[in-house]
A and B are shown apart, each in its own frame.
Chain A
Amino acid sequence: MIAAPKDLALVWRAALAVRHPYAHAWVCFLALLAALCVGALALLRVAGAVDALLYGLRAGWAVLVFAWLMYFISGAARLNTPANAVLVPRMRRSVLRLMVLAWLSATVLSALLALGSAVRPQLVFLAVGFWLVVLGLARSSSPVRAVAQVMLPFLALILIYLPQAWRAVLASPAGFVAATVLLLGLGAWTLERMFPQGGDHHFQQRAKEKLALDRISAEGLFRQPRIPRIGRRLYQAALRRDCERRDSGALLMHLCAPDGLRTQRCLALLVMVAGAALLMPVLRLRASAGTIEAVANGSWLFASTLLFVPLGDYERRLMRLAVTRGEQGLVKLAPGMPGAAAAFNRHLAARLLRAGLAEWGACSAAVLAVVAITGASAEILWMQACVCCLTLPLLASTLRDHARHSGAAGWPLLSALLGSSAACWLAGALATRYLGAQTMPVAALASVALAAVVVAWRWRRLAGAPHAFPVGRLA
């Protein structure tokens, strides 16, 4: 193999391996899976085999580009450390070449795959190109990173709602060339921001960049929560108060949630409810009766997504515990904490349970408030209250044997939540069929009962579990 392709292949593998040792295989597997699934579905729904093949190829390509970007950009940025940028210039050059090559192939192939579809290839070329550049900028160490991060989710909306006249201009030869020149310029500027050449500025930006990259993964997001200034002030006040009171339970929680999570969460929920309260009168004045009715009837669907917020909070707390093992050793030795394993475990569990219950209560109250503000009927409100109860068994997840388990619970927790919700709903459906009772209230009751049983069972088990701190030492 000649030198340049060999370098590129080496950098490609190294960058992917930074995030995950088998990232390469995963990306290919997911792309193949997506291509097969979408192709098979298309074959069932669309008669032509060629069309189905094209759909499959497009899906596979989309997954390949997306997954590759998630792994490669962050991996390549991590390879380009300030020291490497200066001492191994060939590596930086290879990273830049590879990025350009990948951008070009992604945009050109996307445009080619759009041939034969309703979307014009020129627009696909520009859309994918700009999306890639903004994504790169969002992952860079540049100060404009924050703007790119905000823009990124809305980029697709901008492209979808672009007026027809503008589309026609962009698709015309002159418009396309002008937009491509702009794209190339922006791309070159972004590459410089993504892979700086070393120097003091690079060193300064490195910490910020590392934090931003860490936050791409769920683990990094939970481990290093962003703490706004107001949240930090609230946390400091709470810490001062807890120290003065010598409240061991509250002091224990400072290990789990240094970002003053609960207070911040309540503030965020209050802002959201206030926002809904301000928005609805405007909507009632401006929108048609049909729209207002649709909002009132459909608001529960949007509000229900908030019920997953406590799930994130539990995970964040577990991740915090996983990264404060050193501190836990010191806390365990402090005489202010219960000494016996059973007493300590229950002390910790009671605090975690209380925090979980408070978060669930706050989220449920916010959900019901939003639904009520949108003018939903009493029936919908009642159903929403029942849906809130379906997430209660989640509380039991806080009562685990921390000595043997550490870190985020991940998919098993989500699966358990979905499983318990499905089981309770099934109980409700059976009650409807055989007893004539309403489904959702029965499901809610079943959920409350299930939560009580699982919490009591896990609470009893904690007495026999080893001392919780330091977490994960027996894993």
Chain B
Amino acid sequence: MAKSKFSRRRLLAGAVPLVAAGPLAKLAFAEGSQPEQLPSHAGRGHAALGHASMVGAEVPAPGGPNDLDRLLEPPAALSHQPGRVREYKLVAYDREIEIAKGVYFPAWTYNGTVPGPVIRATEDDLLRVEFVNGSTHPHTIHFHGIHPANMDGVFEVVVPGASFTYEFPARPYGMHLYHCHSTPLKKHIHKGLYGAFIIDPPKPRNPAQELVLVMNGFDTDGDGGNNFYTVNGLAFYYAKYPIVVKRSQTVRIYLANLTEFDLINSFHLHGEFFRYYPTGSSDQFEYTDTVMLCQGERGIVEIDFHNTGLFMFHAHQSEFTELGWMGFFSVVD
């Protein structure tokens, strides 16, 4: 109820009642100034408050223990063999997916998941991606990287029921991404048509435990702003199921930002520093614990953990963190 309703309900000039109201006003003062309801403090001391309540089985996250393995663990890198054909098949179809505990989103997917499957090739492979549109809207696949204009996923719009095969040599090496480039672009991206695209360098990278983390958001109420934020599509999933890594082994994360609506997203690791290779396309790195990525920006993170235990990782935008983009590494010996 609005305060305004009281604005006209006060103060009538009137001499006799005013005089009579004087003593009573005192009574009102005493009552009004010391309402017994006002607490001296808001209360503390609950055991399950804060982050302590947001790790492990109690976390409100959807899915089972191994549901995201296919998105988290990329296919193995292959050695450099120029001209080798690498084939993938992507089918676009509409699917309602659970993106936060109990919250269902009518997504547009590649192969049924958001993000779509990880596509991986070695530089100079011939990449052949067959795309079938099983959805109700026209879609494309637009790959980042170097390729001919007619393989760019901009002009060759694939209508529902049709298919198209993208074919081009994979280059340059680095961490890339792919997404639908149909219009309206915002709609086609935020509905879920995107994924990670890794091109390995001719000289293999050092051995590591490799992970893919695609940062994204979901606008569940259609107001042009995200209601939930995740990595790999499920809010708080890695808080409920921490990612188990070994202290003795380098952890390599292929990190991409495919968040729509919000201009930037970020990755912050607790208790550790990491090497960050922007776009993963050179040996240049920054030694840091926080990186900021614009929409479509991506890179490679390499961590050598010094300690064991639970280490949080999350967007350093607190809002994103508390709306689902938060998880833990469980570092073991």
**Same complex:** no
A residues near B, CB below 8 A? none
